[in-house]
Structure 1
Amino acid sequence: MFRVAETAEEYDQIRCLNHRVFAEEVRQHPPAADGRLIDSREAISRFFVALVDNRVAGMVCTCPRRPFSMEKRLADPSILDTLPGPLLEARLLAIEPAYRKRMLFLGMLELMVATAISEGYATLLISGITERLRMYQRMGFRPLGPAVPYGAASFTPMAMALLR
């Protein structure tokens, strides 16, 4: 099932999943003793989740407000002013390893993009993990600048026009 996260339990599962992916696997953040990674923009973000047996198996979130986290990866953030607005940033794509070769990613993406279009957003922004650049390009994202290292990972700022 794909939907927007609603419960405190789902948010706790999101924080644990984010820690496993972004602290332990990608090593973008240092590990936390409690095994949770609370995103600094959580309060202003919307979390789209994939639930399997009532457990969060995947998530991606959107943030509608500048400054976007991907702006710090741009040599010149004013490039965002040249894109059709309004802008929406998608962040923190995380899927449990056991579900990565399944349709969870597409289901979350479909819900996220449909919601963004219905709310009038024109451009979707991401910081794509550079190792997966070709996947993002096949989806329609285009680089806005060169890759930028962050922790042990490297990210490429990207944008995609949303169809209306």
Structure 2
Amino acid sequence: MDFVNHEELLVRRRAGLGSNGRTIRLAQEEVAARGLDLRVEPPDVLEIERRATRKELAIHALHQMHPLALQMGVPLRRLDDAEPDHTLPAELKGAWEAWQKAGARLEDARSYLHGYIHTSHRQESLSHAPEASGVRRVFANRAVSVFDASREAQDG
């Protein structure tokens, strides 16, 4: 199984260059020399950096959510530890445990889990785009109540 995944980061938008074949070819040569990809979205040319990231971190989330879903009555098959899609690689287990021992601070996660965490944001998507000032405001959801699996099991 291939776990390689790529995230795309917009490096630069060249406004107005995507309508002319000559300027597109020149931009292709220039960005290729710098190891970047080029995407034409008329009338613009976008310089894109592609970074490989690994998807195994999603397996950790699967192991966290699966028992909770079963507890709530979701009809799921058991996770097969022999199945590569269900097994955390030893390297990730070690990195995860080291991060947990260090306090599991979100701001430290990249130091321990580099290569597993996607760092891009969708600049070209309206829902994720920064404001005109370039500042991205975050509106955190507030839970009305918190699900506590241990309390649910007792109340069962």
What TM-score results when the alignment is normalised by the length of structure 2?
Answer: 0.23
Relative to its length, the structure with more helix (as a share) is 2
| Structure with bigger gyration radius | 2
Relative to its length, the structure with more strand (as a share) is 1
